[in-house]
Amino acid sequence: MSTPVGIPSIDLRDFLSDDQEKRAKFVKSIGEAYETIGFVAVKNHGINDDLIDRLYSKIKAFFNLTTEQKAKYEIEGIGGQRGYTSFGKEHAKQRKAGDLKEFWHFGQFVEDGDPIKEIYPDNVDVEEVEGFLETGREAYLTFLETGRKLLQAIALYLEIDEDYFDKHIHNGNSILRPIHYPPIVNPEPDAVRAGEHEDINLITLLVGASADGLQVLNKQNEWVSVTSIEDHIVVNVGDMLQRLTNNRLRSTTHRVINPPKEQWHEDRFSIPFFLHPRPDMPLNCLEECIDEHHPKMHEDTLAGDYLNRRLKAIGLLK
């Protein structure tokens, strides 16, 4: 399959090569894409098919459990940051109807004695699904490493140190979110699988979904469908990176639409990885992105404070 119009394909192998011309072309391509549409499709990303298949197998087994079994893993008081979040709990910030989805959260695995572990909830295993947490951990760490490399390319495009983001995402508050969109039954009039929104984090990495439905809003205010792209992951800018770059890089509005009614009986699964920094990372606009033609657009804030405000806006925190 080819990439949709306006979503460029880039090869991470070029950035990781010793060929400086290929590296420079990759940096230019990802930066220019993020200044315009905010999405790219990445091949040779290092997340192998076997791992993706195993992860899908585990999460489908979980979502096939009974409502009572799944409810055991819904933890009150932590904004859904670990474990299970039941159907309809989350909504887009401008909508009242809950999204037609349920999901699971794997969070950071702090394994080096970093005191930050004390502020994160523990990850949760599922006793009914053998190897559930082990597979989630393997996928989480693999996504994180791929995201780290992409952020290095972004840093070079912004003309800051290549390793600028490394210390901020080490033991950061990233989330791996397997999502289940069940068959649609008697929805509220304006309910959709995921209302139009922008992601909160730095970047989001998305492996191919089990069905179509993802759309992004382009500069012409047109919705562009993003289909599953063979051997690629889709990576987009989140609001934290947009703030940090003083709106130079675009956090693009996107949504997951309902399928045609004759397909309402079909499930849909997807697995985004939301790459977050540590809560104490300043999201102050970079000096490199401010000049007389681009005045500072956002007030100073910390990533953790910004995240909490956004979680309240979408109904996950009270």
What are the tens digits of pLDDT across the range 127-162?
999 999 999 999 999 999 999 999 999 999 999 999
Q: E strands along 184-275, which residues?
A: 194-197, 203-207, 214-217, 223-225, 232-237, 254-256, 268-275
Amino acid code (one letter) for 178: P
Identify whether 132 is part of a domain: yes
Site of tokens 């490199």: 288
Give residue-wise pLDDT tens across range 23-37: 999 999 999 999 988
Whether 45 and 51 have beta carbons less than 8 Å apart is answered as: no
What angle, rounded to 10 degrees, do the helices at 20-36 and 132-157 form?
100
Q: What is the pLDDT of residue 217?
A: 83
**Do the domain assignments include residue 271?**
yes
- The answer to whether residue 272 is domain-embedded is yes
Tokens 């309902």, residue?
258
- 154 part of a folded domain: yes
- Residue 149 is part of a domain; what is its CATH number? 2.60.120.330
Residue 110 lies in a domain: yes
Beta-carbon count within 10 A of 156 CB: 20
For the entire predicted model, the pTM comes to 0.90
What range defines the domain where residue 213 resides?
A: 9-278
Q: What angle, rounded to 10 degrees, do the helices at 132-157 and 49-63 form?
A: 130
**pLDDT tens string 71-116:** 999 998 887 889 999 986 655 555 455 677 899 999 999 999 999 9
Split into its structural domains, the chain has a count of: 1
Cα 8 from chain centroid (whole Å): 18
Q: Which helix (H) or strand (E) holds 137?
A: helix 132-157
Residue type, 38: G
Residue 312 pLDDT level (bands cut at 50, 70, 90): confident
pLDDT value at position 301? 97
Residue 264 placed within a domain = yes
Q: Is residue 290 part of a domain?
A: no
Residue 1 located in a structural domain? no
Supply the pLDDT for residue 75. Answer: 92
Rounded Cα–Cα distance for residues 4 and 216 (Å)? 11
